[in-house]
Amino acid sequence: MKEFWENEFIQTAAYYSVVILCMIVFLAVFELVTKYRNWEEIKNGNVAVAMATGGKIFGIANIFRHSIMHNDTLLTMITWGIFGFFLLLIGYFIFEFLTPKFRIDEEIENNNKAVGFISMVLSIGLSYVIGAGLS
């Protein structure tokens, strides 16, 4: 059985499956903390929400990329990935806090593409910093 789990194809499939599951859970958490419904807004053509959500997806995937590259076991990879996600989530709240002149969620919900773009870039940028920390 040990040889089965050491097979690169099996390991890749395991990492892939776990990351997909974590991404679904993490996007559900983001759905809970935003005032708008991500997938409903995307369905209605809200580009700002699509950019912000795309940045979150990229950010989560990038964090897990670094976690996979620098950890030996699936459990350790998951643990560091979860930690990285919570750092990304904290970054979201800091972004909201540092913009007292307007509400990030309201601007994104109103399809303000500039705010959606900044939110996307922030998620992507923070994922690189978090990933470097996981290395």
- Spans of the chain below 70 pLDDT: 5
The closest alpha carbon to 21, from 78, 71, 76, belongs to: 78
Q: Determine the Cα–Cα distance for residues 47 and 74; give it in Å rounded to an integer.
A: 35
Q: Which pLDDT score, from 0 to 100, does residue 7 have?
A: 84
Q: Determine the Cα–Cα distance for residues 58 and 121; give it in Å rounded to an integer.
A: 10
Give, rounded to a whole angstrom, the gap between the first and last alpha carbons of the chain: 30
Domain ranges in the chain? 2-134
Q: Which pLDDT score, from 0 to 100, does residue 11 have?
A: 87
Q: What is the pTM of this model?
A: 0.89
For residue 81, give Cα distances in angstroms to 29, 48, 60: 14, 26, 8
Q: Determine the Cα–Cα distance for residues 10 and 25; give it in Å rounded to an integer.
A: 23
Q: Which pLDDT score, from 0 to 100, does residue 109 have?
A: 95
CB 22 within 8 A of CB 61: no
Q: Which pLDDT score, from 0 to 100, does residue 39 have?
A: 94
Q: DSSP assignment, residue 129?
A: H
Burial classification of residue 72, based on how many CB atoms lie within 10 Å of its CB (0-12 exposed, 13-18 middle, 19 or more buried) = exposed
Q: In the block, which residue shows the tokens 């307007």?
A: 102
